[in-house]
Structure 1
Amino acid sequence: MRKIYLSLVALLGASLILSGCERPSFQRDQSGFRGTAMVNVQNPRINADKAKLNELPPSTGPIPGDGPKAADVYKNVKVLGNLSQAQFTTFMVSMTSWVAPQDGCSYCHNVANFAEDAKYTKIVARRMIQMNQNINANWKDHVKETGVTCYTCHRGNNIPQNVWFKEVPQGISGPALGQRNGQNAPAASVAYSSLTNEPFSKYLLQSNPARIQGKEGLPNGNVHSLQETEHVYGLMMHFSKSLGVNCTYCHNSRSFADWSQSTPQRGLAWYAIQMVKDTNNTYMEPLSSTFPAHRLGGLGDVAKANCATCHQGVNKPLYGKSMLADYPYLAKQYSETPKVGTSLAAK
């Protein structure tokens, strides 16, 4: 009788545990024709946590552009000097709350001499403002009119929580077996898969097409190597995890390779890859010598962007809410900002 009682208790406990794993029920939205498995699956509990992360920060609203210019009032203003003094100071306060709420102005400035360029963070901040302007002005094929600001990536952190460094090569169990190529070392960046956990150098820094799906069978069709396949699938897992979506958000599951059967989001994703490459190569990599050693990766490279840097788990950063109405000067490049070539033909 005691054994039966213990068995019932164990069964009840297991039922409670398993039922807890299934609550709340997943939401399933069909995004394609029946039979194509094009269904987006969402967990309401996880979505609730994402909603908190993607709330807009407080804003003072748009500030008038009339009055003395910042470059005439303050010393050593190399970026945004054409803003009014009110616009400039308001933006500095906002940027501080987005990037360094605990440190305040001293994170970038010597508060005894604000004009001084002694801190590397001030040099980086200038370049990041220019990066924002470049993205908003030249990459509308991806960011549309929503655009980005410092807050899109930083969310109150000195360094965005989702960045990446080049992988330090690690052997399997000795040089004879070669390098493990980032495999079997699960990381959040690739949804904890056993695929290579650093596909970013190949596709978000170097110019390599992330395509391995063929329309024809072997030997005339898909001739990509297993290593190439693992790299691309690692990147695709990163896309899925970063945006909180399934593969069918971009692809038609009956023919992954066929662009004509894919969703419009696949085109947006292609532009995203080109945009992130431009960001990493034009703005981040050149800053490697500016950052101190403790902010660099194992190979001496600076932190770089990937999809999670902006998206942070949702298909549209901040659920598609734009902050540019209050900071319109981040939406265009002024004469003081270097022109950056973004020809897609060169990507």
Structure 2
Amino acid sequence: MNRVLPATGLVLVAALLLAGCEKPPPQSVQRGPRGTAMVQVYSPAALADAAVHNAAPEPLPPASPDGPRASQVYQNVQVLGNLSVAEFARTMTAMTAWVAPGQSCAACHNPANFADDSIYTKLVARRMLLMTQKINTEWKTHVGNTGVTCYTCHRGQNVPSEVWFKPLQDERMNTFAGNHAGQNAPADSVGLSALPSDPFTPFLLEDVGIRVGGATALPTGNRQSIKQTEWTYGLMMHMSKSLGVNCTQCHNTRSLSSWGGESSPPRLTAWHGIRMTRALNNEFLVPLTANFPANRLGPGGDVAKVNCATCHQGAHKPLYGAPMAKEYPGLLIAAPGNAQGSMSAADLKVIAPMATISTQAPAPAPAR
């Protein structure tokens, strides 16, 4: 009897330990050349949970494109005025469901005068429409033909669940205690690591060089610091968590900085995504700061900004690639202005060939 009780206890302890393990079998997807260990391993249970959150709503029934234009019937229609009245009403109805379900049109409009621009949410929504159009027309290098809609980020909420503000400056940075540089304060933004918790300001707002592997020895031209390397790794941690992937989604960990034939096509997509996010923050969101009330701003008075998680929310493709945008022609109209989705002259000077890993992989790839 005395021997049975200890044995039973061991079984119970083993059962408790195993309860914390994931159920097999995991699923794996090859992301790079054979033999490079560039494999993504997924938990079926985790994928099932993420699929519920990333389910796209059914499109509204189609509306006739014929008839008078919205700008001919309604006043002060500045963005979608070229749509038919029926399609305009359909788009407005969809936007309400995507962003303000339960609030109706009053979320943005003055019910007594829909042409009135006194409600700040209407001014913001107008700019967000222009931003959506620009993403769908000028940033195909990142979103492809799938595109985005208001729902991609908002998911039925007035404010997307994943936005960021600039952190307050460390009060001790000019004292004997020194500047912690945002480190050693584990944050969700960097996967609860000790890396700098704000990798967004240098790369998604400012244009700090993200490449940390110098081409020459110190100090002959190599100005990449350890601090900058930690910022870069902080952003990589954010991207990994936001997309639900690990480093091998884009990189061959034998040589993280190498492009050539050692990276997968998603790395080039991510390269454009970083630049797209920076452009959206600076062209559309930061200029709206004065339109928001104080309670909608961050602790330092800055506006909410976007990062990778804003759209992806744990999926390697937002909404797992559901092509919502094609159902709403008003969101696919080219916005005025110069294209921002192409490489600059400086970028073109440093591109290097990337081996074709899939039939859809682009030939050139940037080296930084």
Q: TM-score, normalised by structure 1?
A: 0.92
1:57 Cα deviation after fit: 0.9
Within 5 A, what are the aligned runs for 1:112-191?
112-171=112-171, 175-191=175-191
- Paired with 1:16 and 1:299, the residues of 2 have a C-alpha distance of 49
Counterpart check, 1:14 vs 2:29: no
1:214 Cα deviation after fit: 4.7
Residue 28 of structure 2 aligns to a residue in which SS? strand
Greater mean deviation of Cα atoms: 43-52 or 122-131: 43-52
Residue 288 of structure 1 aligns to a residue in which SS? helix
1:174 Cα deviation after fit: 8.7
Corresponding residue number in structure 2 for 1:313: 314
Structure 2, unmatched stretches of 5+, are 348-368
Write out per-residue CA displacement over residues 277-318 of structure 1, whole angstroms, 9 at most, x where no aligned residue. Answer: 110000000001111111101111111111111111111111
Write out per-residue CA displacement over residues 243-262 of structure 1, whole angstroms, 9 at most, x where no aligned residue. Answer: 11110110112211111021
Write out per-residue CA displacement over residues 188-240 of structure 1, whole angstroms, 9 at most, x where no aligned residue. Answer: 22222211111111001111221113577767796522211110000000111
| Corresponding residue pairs, total | 343
Contact 2:31/2:264 (<8 A) preserved? no
Contact 1:195/1:234 (<8 A) preserved? yes
Corresponding residue number in structure 2 for 1:23: 22
AA aligned to 1:16 is A
Corresponding residue number in structure 2 for 1:228: 228
- Paired with 1:87 and 1:135, the residues of 2 have a C-alpha distance of 21
Write out per-residue CA displacement over residues 76-114 of structure 1, whole angstroms, 9 at most, x where no aligned residue. Answer: 111101111111111111000000113221111111221
- Paired with 1:322 and 1:287, the residues of 2 have a C-alpha distance of 28
Residue 162 of structure 1 aligns to a residue in which SS? coil
Corresponding residue number in structure 2 for 1:237: 237
- Paired with 1:295 and 1:262, the residues of 2 have a C-alpha distance of 40
Greater mean deviation of Cα atoms: 317-326 or 306-315: 317-326
Corresponding residue number in structure 2 for 1:193: 193
Corresponding residue number in structure 1 for 2:280: 279
AA aligned to 1:265 is P
Corresponding residue number in structure 2 for 1:209: 209
AA aligned to 1:286 is P
Greater mean deviation of Cα atoms: 53-62 or 130-139: 53-62
Corresponding residue number in structure 1 for 2:337: 339
AA aligned to 2:95 is M
Q: 1:220 to 1:40 in 2, by over 3 A?
A: farther
Greater mean deviation of Cα atoms: 101-110 or 130-139: 101-110
- Paired with 2:2 and 2:177, the residues of 1 have a C-alpha distance of 55
AA aligned to 1:304 is K
- Paired with 2:161 and 2:91, the residues of 1 have a C-alpha distance of 22
1:27 Cα deviation after fit: 2.5
AA aligned to 1:47 is L
Contact 1:169/1:181 (<8 A) preserved? no
Corresponding residue number in structure 1 for 2:359: none
Contact 2:32/2:264 (<8 A) preserved? no
1:43 Cα deviation after fit: 1.6
Q: 1:37 to 1:327 in 2, by over 3 A?
A: same
- Paired with 2:287 and 2:9, the residues of 1 have a C-alpha distance of 60
- Paired with 2:39 and 2:214, the residues of 1 have a C-alpha distance of 23
AA aligned to 2:102 is Q
Q: 1:74 to 1:28 in 2, by over 3 A?
A: same
Structure 1, unmatched stretches of 5+, are none
- Paired with 2:17 and 2:71, the residues of 1 have a C-alpha distance of 63
Contact 2:326/2:332 (<8 A) preserved? no
